[in-house]
Amino acid sequence: MKPNVLPVSSICNPRDLGGYIGFEGRKVKSHRLLRTGKINKISAKDEKFLQEYGLSKIIDLRSPLEYKKCPDRPIPGVQHFAMPLSDEDNTNGGEKDIAKVFEEYRHDQYAGFRMMCDHYHGYVSKKHAQNTIRQILELLVNTPDGAVLFHCSEGKDRTGIIAVIILYLLGVDLETIRQDYLYSNYMLNHYRAKRDKIFKQKGENLEFRANMRILGSVSDAFLDTSLITIEKEYGGLDSFLQNQIGVTPEMRDALRELYLEK
């Protein structure tokens, strides 16, 4: 099925995970699991829509530095949880010397690709990330009603990995999960084009602009970096979720009971 895109314009990459077929042919419930980009510039109209849509909790996956720069706008009646998937800034090359990183981008068109692969390795291998994944799943288990919205900056990488894990636990097949992940490329087409136009006007070279397109995209290779890391280092997704994340059969069944239709 085609992803369920939410009709909001002030948030990038807004989607409801409802409708996918999960365990025993049961559909993922709508109005329960939302994935988006940052909501610091949410409009009053979109805020009202989400409130009426049933939004009850927001999980912010961004680093403390990112949140400090662009804090989420509080939404009345909605709980906010800061749960950074990474403990370092994941934008513009992280906390490194940005000028140095940008100079590398101007000379090596693959620098951004390698950095993204490194991030995706860390999303599943770093203890901080594993602990955050556990906390997110515990929060979901303790949310019997309402919609939970989880987001990072552009709603594609950290948000994408969390969506992969949630959908897998709900029994959605991996190819459907992959296509949902890759759909961010379509959702961010305008964002990348607008950014590229700005960089071109500033006189940035082709290598730099190629890197920026990579940083504004998702890729099979990025997701496969996480999945191959899980397979080689932890023995597969089921073993990873059980031994590294601490997902018990009871937690998995509780998630399915809460987020799948009867």
Structure tokens at 31: 């109005």
**CA-wise closest residue to 55 among 63, 64, 43, 46:** 46
Q: Could you give the angle at the alpha carbon of 128 between the alpha carbons of 257 and 179, nearest 5°?
A: 50
Give residue 5's pLDDT band: very low, low, confident or very high (50, 70, 90).
very high
Give residue 87's pLDDT band: very low, low, confident or very high (50, 70, 90).
confident
Its pTM stands at 0.95
Quote the CA–CA distance of 147 and 133 in Å, as a whole number.
18
Residue given tokens 């800034």 in the structure block? 89
Give residue 94's pLDDT band: very low, low, confident or very high (50, 70, 90).
very low
For residue 161, give Cα distances in angstroms to 108, 120, 141, 152, 194.
27, 8, 18, 11, 25
Mean pLDDT of 2-17: 97
Mean pLDDT of 122-141: 98
- Single-letter code of the amino acid located at 7: P
- Single-letter code of the amino acid located at 62: R
For residue 27, give Cα distances in angstroms to 75, 91, 186.
29, 34, 24
Give residue 96's pLDDT band: very low, low, confident or very high (50, 70, 90).
low
Q: Tell me what percent of the residues of the chain surpass a pLDDT of 70.
A: 97
Mean pLDDT taken over the chain: 95
Q: Output the pLDDT for position 103.
A: 95
Q: Tell me what percent of the residues of the chain surpass a pLDDT of 90.
A: 94
Give residue 1's pLDDT band: very low, low, confident or very high (50, 70, 90).
confident
3-state helix/strand/coil string of the chain: CCCEECCCCCCCCCEECCCCECHHHCEECCCCEEEECCCCCCCHHHHHHHHHHCEEEEEECCCHHHHHHCCCCCCCCCEEEECCCCCCCCCCCCCCCHHHHHHHHHHCCCHHHHHHHHHHHHHHHCHHHHHHHHHHHHHHHCCCCCEEEEECCCCCCHHHHHHHHHHHHCCCCHHHHHHHHHHHHHHCHHHHHHHHHHHHHCCCCHHHHHHHHHHCCCCHHHHHHHHHHHHHHHCCHHHHHHHHHCCCHHHHHHHHHHHECC
Query: CA 223 from chain center: how many Å?
Result: 11
Give residue 91's pLDDT band: very low, low, confident or very high (50, 70, 90).
low
- Higher pLDDT: 36 or 97? It is 36
Cβ-based neighbour number of residue 2 at 10 Å: 8
